[in-house]
Amino acid sequence: MLRIHYGDQKSVAVKSTPATRMIDVLIEVCEKTGHHPHQTGLFVSSKELDLSLTHRASSLPPSSEVHLKPLNLDHRKVKVAVRVDTGKGRERREATVLTSQTTLWSLLLKLEKEEGDLTKRTTTDKKYLLPQIRTMGWKTNGSVEQLCSLTLCNAGFRTGSVMLDISFQSSDFSLEKITTTIEDLISRLSPSPSPSPSPSLMEISIEEPSLPFPSAPHSSSSSSSSSSSS
């Protein structure tokens, strides 16, 4: 169990096992407190935690005091190296630098050698081959929804370098059906204006220049999950 501190002497408890990724801890904290994962981070003192690591790999001492703090991740860059399974035991390697707000689908489009090389593959019977992305301790869940919506940032890759393996899994859908689904998803997931900052959440004290948390509705479960911490 981890207790995460935030705001003005508030805290929330999050269940965590040694295999839990720190990005999943952040997401649960944000769900309970009404903050946004893509605009926050976890810190021990002034050190930002690597959210791509598991709880065990992060080497957090049992008595660590972990804090949720606001971050501006808009201009952060991630160096992404990929290994693409081209079939018959062969692979090709690519590398690029992207902002942490890049979606996995945009990553695939960026790395294509030619149109459809990674995003429009089909089997011999015209069934769509869904890209699968994985790295140590994490992989995509096999849905086009996740590929279109999940950013590098919210997958835990916020800075530095990451190696990703790309393979392909046969689906039950045609390329035409998947293409229509993806176009609809991208249209619905287009960025909307950022929410206005909440004055009540601007009192957080951090070592770096203060950035206000964006406001978000608090659910009734959020308030019951939080408790005072000295």
pLDDT at position 171 is: 92
The pair of three-digit structure tokens given for residue 129, joined into one six-digit string: 């081959």
Q: In the chain, what is the straight-line distance between the N-terminal and C-terminal CA atoms, in Å? A: 18
Residue 203 has pLDDT above 60, yes or no: no
The pair of three-digit structure tokens given for residue 168, joined into one six-digit string: 């392909």
Name the band, by pLDDT with cuts 50, 70 and 90, for residue 9. confident
pLDDT at position 150 is: 92
Residue 95 has pLDDT above 80, yes or no: yes
Q: What are phi and psi of 9, to 5 degrees?
A: 60, 40
The amino acid present at 212, given as its one-letter code, is P
Q: What span, in angstroms and rounded, lies between the C-alpha atoms of 81 and 162?
A: 6
- The larger pLDDT score, comparing residue 50 to residue 207, is at 50
74-89 per-position pLDDT tens digit: 889 999 999 998 877 7
Give strand pairing partners of 78. Answer: 98, 160
pLDDT at position 102 is: 94
Q: What span, in angstroms and rounded, lies between the C-alpha atoms of 133 and 146?
A: 11
Residue 114 has pLDDT above 80, yes or no: no
Cα separations in angstroms, 87 against 93, 116, 230: 13, 16, 57
16-71 per-position pLDDT tens digit: 999 999 999 999 999 999 999 989 999 998 899 999 999 999 988 878 899 999 99
Domains by residue range for the chain, with CATH: 2-72+193-228 (3.10.20.90), 77-188 (3.10.20.90)
Average pLDDT over residues 11-17: 92
Residue 192 has pLDDT above 50, yes or no: yes
- The larger pLDDT score, comparing residue 116 to residue 223, is at 116
Average pLDDT over residues 120-145: 91
Q: What span, in angstroms and rounded, lies between the C-alpha atoms of 225 and 230?
A: 16
Cα separations in angstroms, 219 against 33, 34, 49, 68, 92: 8, 7, 27, 18, 47
Residue 224 has pLDDT above 60, yes or no: no
Report DSSP letters for 169-211, one per residue: EEEEEEHHHHHHHHHHHHHHTS--PPPPBPGGGTT---SSPP-
Query: How many CA atoms are closer than 13 Å to the CA of 91, on its beta-carbon side?
Result: 12
pLDDT above 70 as % of the chain: 82
DSSP state at residue 79: E
Residue 230 has pLDDT above 50, yes or no: no
